[in-house]
Structure 1
Amino acid sequence: TFDYHPEGDATSDIIKSLDMVFCFASLYFVFQAHRTVAEQHLLAVHLVVNTPLASGWRAARLHVLRKPAFWVEAVLTTMHLPPTVTFAVGAEAISGWLQSPGNYVLYRGENLMSVLSMLKIYQLWPLLRELCFWDLPKRHFVGRMTKVTLGSTFALKRMFNSSYAVFYVGVLWFFWLMAFGYVYRNVELTACLYPSMMLADGTYRDPLCARENSWMWLQQGRLQRKINDYTMFSAVWAVFVTSSTVGYGDYVPTTGFGRAVMTLVCTAGIMAAGLLTATIIVDLQWTPTEQSVLLMLERQKARRQMRDMAARLIATCWVRRMRRLGGLRNDPEYAHQVKVKFRHVLELSKSDTEKLGGVGRKIATVSKRTRESRNALDELFELRGDDSSLSKRSLEP
């Protein structure tokens, strides 16, 4: 609830109680996950060195408790604000370079803990990583034999090189837009503008909220009244516009934390845009199978054009002979040129492209030879200079 109640709030206490239960339940699963990893390590050592497993299973739990990584994750997992506990922290928001005094912002404890709780999202990644590897049998054995670490980097490469890479990038972009939007909204809210901050006698619970710079903020070089925007849509829109490097200017970060969040948003947005572009380019490239199919289709197209040109050549010679426009029998020079050109067309149509290097070169060669054959036949039709009898209309029958 976007309000400040130092004396306690029933709705907030219920939410905090549920959050506390989920935090300690998550701690149990975190411990079990670390214990499973420790047992897998002990099993791998047993297979290599043949150490006894009986003592190893009992030592797995102690091994987890000695790991600093487990305690760091445990602190992040159990980090919450207990019921009936609330506080507020005031700070001078950054409103310009070396400007003093700056805009005064009062952060409510619930808002700060909500931002810190977003760090727990990383716990979803191990689950997604295992889902990425679930269809790979004997991956641990193969990884040890090849000395390839099947970790997060390998999982990301497999995801972004699959046929669903564009979908994964889109989901990732949407996910971090929502996460950064939620954080940005919380760091831009000031508790001085909460309804219950002002008491019945006109005073504020926090004396510093009575100062002018607690509600009149310097934004874009002008003094403007600070307004708390509680909608998630506005925060996500601001993050999206900033990440896409458009920057309409309708939403501007006014606090130091807000600018820090937008700095991360810009960096992540550039990376996401580049990743999306690279993924689309990879998807649009020809696969070896598609290149083979394209070569087969180009061959069929070339053969059809060769047949059409041969039929056109025969029809042209027949029309010339029947219309007495200079037959082959009465013009030896023309007959010789016809034979040479027709032999050249046949050689091009029968040429083999299998000895060429790559598939792309084969396709380009077939297309080039088809154009050369068409040009050679056009030159043949122009030998006599009588275009009226060589038109397509006269050859249609």
Structure 2
Amino acid sequence: MNNYLANHVATLPPSGIRKFFDLVATMKDVISLGVGEPDFVTPWTVRESGIFSLEEGQTMYTSNSGLFELREELAHHLNKTLGLSYSPLGEILITSGASEAVDLVMRAVLEPGDVVLVPDPSYVSYAPCAILSGAKVNYVPTYAREDFRMRVEDLKKVYTPEAKLLVLSYPNNPTGAIMTREDLLPIADFVAEHDLLVLADDIYSDLTYDHTHVSFASLPGMRDRTLFVSGFSKSYAMTGWRIGYVAGHADLIQGMTKIHQYTMLCAPIMGQFAAIEALRSAHEAKDDMVKAYDRRRRLLVHGFRQMGLDCFEPLGAFYVFPDISKTRLSSEAFAEQLLKEEKVAVVPGTAFGPSGEGHIRCSYAYSIEQLQEALKRIGSFVERRLNNL
């Protein structure tokens, strides 16, 4: 039956993250640092709001664009926190998670032959969504020596006249890198010069350490060129609620809404009510989660460096991306042998693009106790490997 699949689907590789996640599900006593999901429960006031919406009988469709009340709250939130001004009437679309928003952006603006410029390494969905939209992908390499920040010099090397869309995903998954305003301004000049659109995936914008997030859409002249994507999964521990959104120029949002209304129709109404409450009352809970992530971040960075592995200090998100090249194992081999010998699951860096080779991604969205035990096991594995070289 595989012959019936469209070729671009049949040849599409499965997610490198899910490959190890599915393998872990078949094993016992495994510590998994593989999945980027908060280990916190959704704050109580948010859960209560979702429950109350059910008790009130709120089980119907919403507008394709989402509850107007939620779009109003988001407009206020984006203006207050990031200095972005969007109208709830036509410039904000509520989606089934930020992942749907990424897919909608790609499908709405890309045509066969277009090129998407994707940072490397970066989240696993960008390139497949571009390919499923008929476009091609040119990777923009980023490097630990540059703090994994995108540079115009590297962007120029992979640019082609067919390029239409640039993906910016900072704070970055898997590296935890951020981009400051000074870093972004040259990118903005390049975008304007080459008449590009930008997909700004800001899903981790609330999870930064020692720095304030700067949105690309807030830069001069970039507001209408940028499709701002975010959601509630990471900041408010709401992964299962599936509420995301995209904000941008009304013409582009209208195009995405057409696709959305023929596929998802609308995001879950209970999740939308919960998202309203999150914006209104969960600030303290969110801040507490960020403080906990910060402690875990420092623990993992210190732990990997003590093993003798170079480890870039992440300034956002909840991942570390240590360099394992000293072990002379590929990323894939390291992850496979670590799982087999020490029962610790991590994700090979190559799951996030070619530049991820020589690294592994470890999520620190887990308890201190789990992280300490994981470091102990990884340390034993690395010590054995280095001693045998």
> Could you say which TM-score interval applies, normalised by the shorter chain?
under 0.3
More helix per residue: 1 or 2? 1
More strand per residue: 1 or 2? 2
Which structure would you say has the larger RCO, counting Cα contacts within 8 Å and 6 or more residues apart? Answer: 2
TM-score (norm 2): 0.18
Greater C-alpha Rg: 1
